[in-house]
Amino acid sequence: MMQNLTKIRLAISTCPNDTFAFHGILNRKVDLLGLDFQIELLDIQQLNEGLFQDRFDVAKASFHAAAILSDRTFVLPSGSALGFGVGPLLLSAKEGDSPGNALANLEFTRTLCPGEFTTAAMLFQLFYGEAIEAGKTRVEHQVFSDIMPSLKERAADFGVCIHEGRFTWADEGLFLVEDLGTRWEIETGVPLPLGGILARRGLAEETLARIQSVIRSSVVYGLEHRDETLPTMREFAQEFDDEVLMAHVELYVNDWTVDLGSEGRKALSVLSKKAIEQRIIPASQSAIEVYQARINRNL
């Protein structure tokens, strides 16, 4: 007799750290514990928008979106991307720009960000909010993979770069204005939380516990079988060079991806506090809550 499987609408990004971490699930290399994952792979802004529309049970999201959706979702302890030296880069189409003069002294510029609710866009708002409010730069949003080409074509003045572009911007003839992650680290002293796995609060407790266990197993499987994950990453990546893909994994997949732990939870708290201080999210917004199993399934 066939087992009745619990269907889970799961969505992750196409970036290498997600396809690496979810390789075990995508290729059924780990025990799925009776869950039937219906998987979509999408751009991060599409993921954020899908969560706002309640399209998914579980999905990767920017922590910016997680802060807004905190009353409707949990952050799962496993699957997150955060750390030191992982932040988005503010790039320029021309040489010589620096944080001191890039935006403050210009009357009007155009800055590209990879989506309204991305953490990259939140960081740009945190650090360059005065320039935005003064009309010195207009923020526009594009799919992350289109930002560097737009800069090269001089269709914009600045761009906030994420994912594989962090490793390839110099080869593309672009120029670094500021590492927004480094600035975050200096100002806060905590790792930068970029994105994590959100789960609907309406899911049954026993289902949530199984989902968390499967995702943790998949992350650990990837870390223990790194070479095996390369074909999965290549299938969806914007950049096909294996060294770049593995450099991406080394940067974004770490102990906090296995489990956020106390330091990861603190970083989420700091992000929410900063966003409230800059009026990016309302002060009445409930804090991001990291899921903690309330039943003992021995998972």
Q: Which residues form the catalytic set?
A: 163
Q: What angle do CA 101, 172, 142 make, to 5 degrees?
A: 70
Is 121:141 a contact under the CB 8 Å cutoff? yes
The DSSP letter of residue 228 is G
Tokens of 81: 């991307």
Q: Phi/psi of residue 120, each to 5°?
A: -60, -45
Tokens of 100: 């001191």
The DSSP letter of residue 144 is H
Tokens of 105: 């002294």
Beta bridge partners of 110: 138
- Give whole-number Cα distances, 232 to 3, 197, 215, in Å: 28, 19, 16
What is the Cα–Cα distance from 192 to 62, expressed in whole angstroms?
12
Q: How many CA atoms lie within 13 A of 60 on its CB side?
A: 30
What is the Cα–Cα distance from 277 to 290, expressed in whole angstroms?
22
Q: Is the dihedral of CA 61, 62, 66, 69 positive or negative?
A: negative
Q: Dmax of the chain from CA atoms? A: 71
Which residues are within 8 A (CB) of 5 and not within 5 positions of it... i.e. 6 or more apart?
Answer: 34, 35, 36
Three-class SS state of 62: strand
Which residues are within 8 A (CB) of 96 and not within 5 positions of it... i.e. 6 or more apart?
Answer: 175
